[in-house]
Amino acid sequence: MQNIDPHVHSLHNSHGQADPNKIIEAALANGLDGIVIVEHNSYDASARWEQYKNSDLLIMRGVEYTSDLGHILIYGIESDKYIPRPNLPFAEIGALAERLNWAIVAAHPFTRPGVYARNSEKRIPSIHALEVNLKASAINNLDTVTLATKQGIKLIAGSDARDERTVGGYSTGFFNRVSNVQELAQEIRNRDFTMIVTPDAKTKLMIDRTSEQPSYQ
Ligand SMILES: [Zn+2]
Ligand SMILES: [Zn+2]
């Protein structure tokens, strides 16, 4: 089984860019075989990752796109031409996904701005999986699991890491070997994967957050 974290960011509005070498090092240390870099609303924004593709880690690129319904992860997209701006109707992206063999995952569906945080819980065609997200609350992740069970839709797990600290905290195991993001998209569409969710990751995240709090002075 190939252990892949499908939801990793490396660009930040507030503190610039995370160091790709540190992310790769942490990913390998955490037992990952691959990561997918998904910057917000742009495929081109992760172009700098192309130069790291020779590392021991399988590095793929996708997009976390802000549709009119909320955040979705798109795998298999290869340029920004279909997503010239955020907030395009989900139906439009869904139609493109069918035509171009993208896979679409509802990111943190119950945590704003996830697609089920405000909208009804009716099944959205062209969503291939719902995401259990390391940064989402336990309650929101439980809502995701419940809805996935109700709808018969698969669960994928990702860290939503912003840097090396949480990469691989949650990840997804793929049964068939993938060597690029198109193959990954195909496996997601084929429902051939399973979540890898370690309780330790959530505890570690809470400790990290506690240590980030400012001291009272
Ligand atoms: Zn998001
Ligand atoms: Zn994200």
CA of 215 to the centre of ligand 2 (A): 28
| In-domain check, residue 39 | yes
In this structure, which ligand is nearest to the CA of 5?
2
| Within a domain: 129 | yes
Cα-to-centroid distance, 216 and ligand 1 (Å): 31
Per-residue model confidence (pLDDT) at position 6: 98
Closest CA to 42 of 24, 61, 63: 63
Name the pLDDT band for 215 (thresholds 50, 70, 90).
Answer: very low
Question: Dihedral, CA atoms, 174, 161, 149, 92, nearest 10 degrees?
Answer: -90
- Ligand nearest to the CA of residue 66, numbered in listed order: 1
Strands (E), the chain: 2-8, 11-12, 16-17, 34-40, 58-66, 71-75, 103-106, 129-133, 154-158, 170-174, 193-197
Q: Using pLDDT thresholds of 50, 70 and 90, give the confidence band for residue 12.
A: confident
Centre of ligand 1 from the C-alpha of residue 107, in Å: 6
Q: Which range of residues forms the domain containing residue 63?
A: 2-210
The dihedrals phi and psi of 19, each to the nearest 5 degrees, come to: -80, 115
Q: pLDDT at residue 166 above 70?
A: yes
Q: With beta carbons less than 8 A apart as the criterion, state whether 41 and 67 touch.
A: no
55 part of a folded domain: yes
* 115 three-class SS: coil
Please identify every residue whose CB atom is under 5 Å from ligand 2, which is an ion.
Answer: 64, 160
What is the total count of domains within the chain?
1
Q: Calculate how far, in angstroms, residue 217's C-alpha sits from the geometric centre of ligand 2.
A: 33
CATH of the domain at 160: 3.20.20.140
Give the whole-angstrom CA distance, residue 160 versus residue 166: 8
Residue 160 belongs to some domain of the structure: yes
- 162 Cα to the center of ligand 2, angstroms: 8
Per the prediction, the chain carries an average pLDDT of: 93
**Model pLDDT, residue 203:** 78
Q: Is residue 110 part of a domain?
A: yes
Say how many Å lie between the CA of residue 128 and the centre of ligand 2: 17
pLDDT in tens, 119-151: 899 999 999 999 999 999 999 999 999 999 999
**Distance from Cα 114 to the centre of ligand 1, integer Å:** 7
CA of 135 to the centre of ligand 1 (A): 10
Is pTM beyond 0.85? Reply is yes
Ligand showing the shortest atom-to-Cα distance for residue 70: 1
Give a yes or no: residue 49 inside a domain. yes
Query: Is residue 215 situated within a structural domain?
Result: no
Domain assignment present for 217 = no
Q: Which ligand is nearest to the CA of 111?
A: 1
